[in-house]
Amino acid sequence: MSKLKADVIRYSKKLNITNLSALRSGNISVRAKEKGVDGFYITPSGMKYSTLKIKDITKQTPDCSVITFEMPASLTQAFYYTQGQHLTLKAIIDGQDTRRSYSICSSMVDNQWQVAVKKIPGGVFSSYVNDVLQPGDTLEVMPPSGKFGVPISTQEKTYIAFVAGSGITPVLSMIKTHLAKEPKARFKLFYLNRTVKSIIFKEQIEQLRNQYFGRLEIFIS
């Protein structure tokens, strides 16, 4: 057994987590459905967190906030990301070292670093972000990681995405990036939501449809 996997098991026992539903190599994540636990992350040695200031935090829906990070010039290279990647955030909440990963919803085309955090019942980190975090506060953030998504293509392509709820976050980054960097690309988005009020990024998606008129088709229900 690797030391990393052993650490996962050790931490899971410490938090009384019995339902381990995912173990991934690299940034190993442990997800659990125990009350008050919405997942936690163990970081391999050699990967470092950086302290980033919250430039802005805005509400997309009553239970979803978007964090915009202020990125120092000295960290832009380390924090360069591709569409579909995520950031792992860390904070001390109620005296506990708490870590979560959230998909990046912005694009390097806009030179922004943003993640969307939807509040979930009993979610320690998501509640902290939506109820406590303010502009000017800081979070510990790990450089982008993950391989969800496809590379930029030089060929004419049509991308199709089916998403529901907060699953829009990484796909929004893909829409922005592919349509900006691939002049002949087209994108079809099928976006399912429970109610109209729960639609995350509704206005931004409409703006993108106008910006890329004829190239971005949206089907929201």
Q: Where are the beta strands (DSSP E) in the chain?
A: 29-30, 40-41, 50-61, 64-70, 86-93, 96-103, 114-118, 138-145, 158-164, 186-192, 216-220
Residue 123: pLDDT band with limits 50, 70, 90: very high
Our CA angle for 87, 90, 148, nearest 5°, is 20
Two tokens, residue 204:
């931004």
Mean pLDDT of all residues in 119-138:
97
Cβ neighbours of residue 195 closer than 8 Å, sequence gap 6 or more: none
pTM reported for the whole predicted model: 0.78
> Which residue is associated with the tokens 């030179």?
111
Beta-bridged to residue 103, according to DSSP, are 86
Two tokens, residue 51:
């302290």
**Positive or negative CA dihedral for 171, 176, 181, 185?**
positive
Q: What percent of the chain has pLDDT over 70?
A: 79
Greatest Cα pair distance in the chain: 53
Residue 23: pLDDT band with limits 50, 70, 90: very low
Q: Is the pLDDT of residue 200 over 60?
A: yes
Backbone torsions φ then ψ of 187, nearest 5 degrees: -140, 130
Residue 44: pLDDT band with limits 50, 70, 90: very low
Residue 46: pLDDT band with limits 50, 70, 90: low
Q: Of the candidates 37, 36, 41, which has an alpha carbon nearest to the alpha carbon of residue 22? A: 41
Two tokens, residue 155:
């060929």
Least confident stretch, 30-44, 54-68, 88-102? 30-44
